[in-house]
Amino acid sequence: MVETYSTDLSKYRIQKATEMLTTAKTVFDAGDYATANNRAYYSIFHAMRAVLALDEEDYKKHSAVIARFSENYLKTDIIPRKYGSLITNASRIRNRSDYQDFYICSIEDTEKLLEGAKEFLKDVKEYLKTRY
């Protein structure tokens, strides 16, 4: 059984991931696609951190979170491997949306990112149910 602190931290992080996805959908509907990209990415990011919390792992760098999650959960197919490309794409889009002047992500790509984040969050929540 996972330690209580780790479980509580994981639950906090998955709630945060859920809130980020809700915000992403709200701002997308309002036409703020850059913020929708950002919030969708952070939904995915916090979901990964929720899983890693149960292993009592955390990292300061986003790249380290992604690398560890990929190694432990995607490459082993504990979480479907297909999400590797979603995570990479979400990170790339978020970085460009946040830091590149004049970057415009297509509405279609933002919609795909939101849908991918929704599916990822659903699958991560299903996995977490087996661990709590």
Residue 103 exposure: Cα atoms within 13 Å on the Cβ side: 17
Q: Is the dihedral of CA 119, 76, 87, 14 positive or negative?
A: positive
- pLDDT at residue number 37: 96
- pLDDT at residue number 64: 98
32-78, pLDDT tens digit by residue? 999 999 999 999 999 999 999 999 999 999 999 999 999 999 999 99
Q: Calculate mean pLDDT across residues 7-27.
A: 98
Please give the structure tokens belonging to residue 86. 């979603």
- Statement: residue 81 has pLDDT above 70: yes
Please give the structure tokens belonging to residue 72. 């432990």
What is the set of domains in the chain, with CATH numbers?
4-131 (1.20.120.330)
Q: Calculate mean pLDDT across residues 94-115.
A: 93
Other C-beta atoms lying within 10 Å of the C-beta of residue 23: 17
- pLDDT at residue number 2: 52
The model carries a pTM of: 0.94
